Amino acid sequence: MLILECPYCGIHAEETELHAGGQAHIKRETVGADDAAFEAYLFTRANPRGVHLERWRHVNGCGKWFHAARSTTTLEVFGTYPAQTLTPPDDIRAAITAKHPDWSFEGWQGAT
Amino acid sequence: MSNAVSALQGVSSAGFATVTEAGLRGMITLRGDHNAASLRQAVTDIVGVDMPEVRRCTRAGERAAAWMSPDELLIMVPYADAPDVVARLSAALEGMHGLAVNMSDARAVFMVEGTAEGSAREVLAKLAPVDMSRAAFTQGMFRRTRLAQAAVAFGAVGDDAFELICFRSEAQYVFDLLSMSAKSGSQVGVF
Ligand SMILES: [Zn+2]
């Protein structure tokens, strides 16, 4: 059972109160983007075995979207943080690299 | 003027806890910046209750303000007062990014109360992914969650008494859920 703390209402929400929203921190391509960039934005997603950054919504709760950093293999949660950010905050990165010293946000963004 | 009725017109059931539809209730969705002075003052002056903290409900008589999300409150007043309160709240919010809407007829309200036979906490604990222990869910707390498959919000109005709000269209489903969960003989006895 996955439990994530909603950064808005502070509830330690069990999975059934949440709705998964896929990969976080995707850059939106729009008018002017070439075909390859637009295709990658629409269809290409990281599928890492290990640390992943995801979007979740506290759907049966305060209704807000937030971000979560967790491991897809161990289900360890490194932390959750508000949706109003383009990159993970320092404390989240520190919690990840404490366990996975080689991990970097830039490396994760490049993963496919 | 149409004759307003609540979703289940005061239906009740008695098991180890009682479940009662509370009847008509004025309910107003108030959206806006919780830190804005005009919104906070509207809650204290017009509704007449303290501004609620996160996941709490403040009450004064029949009036209440419940925290729904970082930009939403649920204001509860007597049913007949709702249009007037909406008008006054809307006037108070003028010029800011906010909204007050009368949602009274879109929702249903239930009371779940424990008896000597069993606890109301258990009725909810069977249905919602929420820690209902006395230490965790104390009086004045309020939260949104799900009850089986229905989105609901509930708050503790006493040690073993809860007020629960759901969509009107799901009122029968929610009443049936609560009644079944409270069925005599089905108590687990953990609270
Ligand atoms: Zn939340």
Confidence of residue B1 (pLDDT cuts 50, 70, 90): low
pLDDT at B110: 98
| CA distance between the termini of chain B | 47
Give the chain B residue whose CA is nearest to the CA of A63: B69
Q: Is the pLDDT of residue B181 over 70?
A: yes
- Is A8 within the bounds of a domain? yes
What is the arithmetic mean of pLDDT over A34-55?
94
Confidence of residue A64 (pLDDT cuts 50, 70, 90): very high
Q: Which of residues 9-38 of A touch B (CB under 8 A)?
A: 9-11, 13-14, 16-17
The answer to whether B143 and B91 have CB atoms below 8 angstroms apart is no
The answer to whether B136 and B143 have CB atoms below 8 angstroms apart is no
What is the arithmetic mean of pLDDT over A29-41?
93
Q: Is the pLDDT of residue A112 over 60?
A: no
Q: Domain spans of chain B?
A: 12-23+106-181, 26-104
Q: Is the pLDDT of residue B151 over 80?
A: yes
- Is A104 within the bounds of a domain? no
Domain at B12-23+106-181, CATH class: alpha beta
- Is A27 within the bounds of a domain? yes
- CB contact A61 to B (< 8 Å): yes
Give the count of domains, chain A: 1
Q: How far is A111 from chain B (nearest CA, A)?
A: 34
- CB contact B144 to A (< 8 Å): yes
- Is A105 within the bounds of a domain? no
| A9/B69 touch (CB, cutoff 8 Å), yes or no | yes
Confidence of residue B18 (pLDDT cuts 50, 70, 90): very high
B39-66 per-residue burial string, b: 16 or more CB within 10 A, e: under 16: beebbeebbbbebbeebbbbbeeebbbb
pLDDT at B164: 98
- Is A7 within the bounds of a domain? yes
Confidence of residue B99 (pLDDT cuts 50, 70, 90): very high
- B26-104 CATH: 3.30.70.1520
| CA distance between the termini of chain A | 26
Tell me the residue length of chain B: 191
Does residue A107 sit in helix, strand or coil?
A: helix
Q: Which residues span the domain enclosing A64?
A: 3-99
**Ligand 1 midpoint to CA B121 (Å):** 22
Q: Domain holding A89: CATH number?
A: 3.30.2270.10
Considering chain B, what percentage of its residues have pLDDT values greater than 70? 99
Dmax (CA) for chain B in angstroms is 56
- Is A62 within the bounds of a domain? yes
Q: How far is A44 from chain B (nearest CA, A)?
A: 33
Which residues lie across from B142 on neighbouring strands? B155
Which residues lie across from A68 on neighbouring strands? A54, A80
What is the arithmetic mean of pLDDT over B166-172?
98
